């Protein structure tokens, strides 16, 4: 399981004395544990991926805010965290792969208008979660359904 892989990485970072990496991994474990406690469940790999994806999105938002405020030092810390978190995410999809998946989901659902966007995203989310920016995927679906 992915959760076990992260725990093993935490132990390895402790033994190696990698304090910065260890801090990020502890943040990941805390986010996973928080969701497990809140929902009273044991997270599976798909749910752990959703937590990691959310953490990356939050950090990307922070990076853009720090850069616009001229705080490159803080943006660099966030970039480091994104790099550590992304190590546990599957290989990102290319733009061409995303476009092909969107097109097949649209044809599979028979979507023809914006009102069908929920059906399309429902099919895409499990396939793409953690492998692409869902905001960009959503924008692509809107573009394809709007034309």
DSSP states of 5-70? HHHHHHHHHHHHT-HHHHHHHHHHHHHHHHHHHHHTS---HHHHHHHHHHHHHHHHHHHHHHHHTT
Number of Cβ within 10 Å of residue 135's Cβ equals 10
pLDDT digits (tens, 9 = 90+) for 57-98: 999 999 999 999 999 999 999 999 999 999 999 888 899 999
Other CB atoms within 10 A of residue 8 CB = 11
CA distance 106 to 108: 5
Instruction: For tokens 């989901």, name the residue.
Output: 105
Q: What is the pLDDT of residues 88-134, one digit of tens each?
A: 998 888 999 999 999 999 999 988 888 889 999 999 988 888 788 88
Q: Which two tokens stand for residue 81?
A: 């965290």
Q: Take residue 24 and report the two structure tokens written for it.
A: 């990020």
Question: Which DSSP category does 116 fall into?
Answer: G
């Amino acid at each position: 399981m992915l959760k076990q892989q992260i725990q093993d990485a935490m132990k390895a970072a402790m033994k190696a004395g990698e304090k910065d990496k260890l801090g990020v991994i502890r943040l990941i474990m805390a986010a996973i544990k928080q969701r497990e406690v809140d929902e009273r469940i044991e997270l599976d790999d798909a749910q752990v991926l959703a937590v990691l994806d959310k953490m990356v999105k939050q950090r990307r938002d922070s990076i853009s805010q720090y850069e616009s405020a001229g705080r490159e030092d803080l943006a660099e810390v966030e970039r480091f965290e994104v790099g550590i978190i992304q190590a546990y995410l599957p290989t990102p999809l290319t733009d061409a792969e995303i476009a092909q998946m969107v097109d097949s989901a649209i044809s599979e659902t028979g979507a023809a208008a914006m009102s069908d966007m929920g059906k399309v995203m429902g099919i895409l989310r499990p396939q793409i979660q953690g492998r692409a920016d869902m905001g960009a995927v959503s924008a692509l679906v809107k573009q394809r359904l709007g034309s």
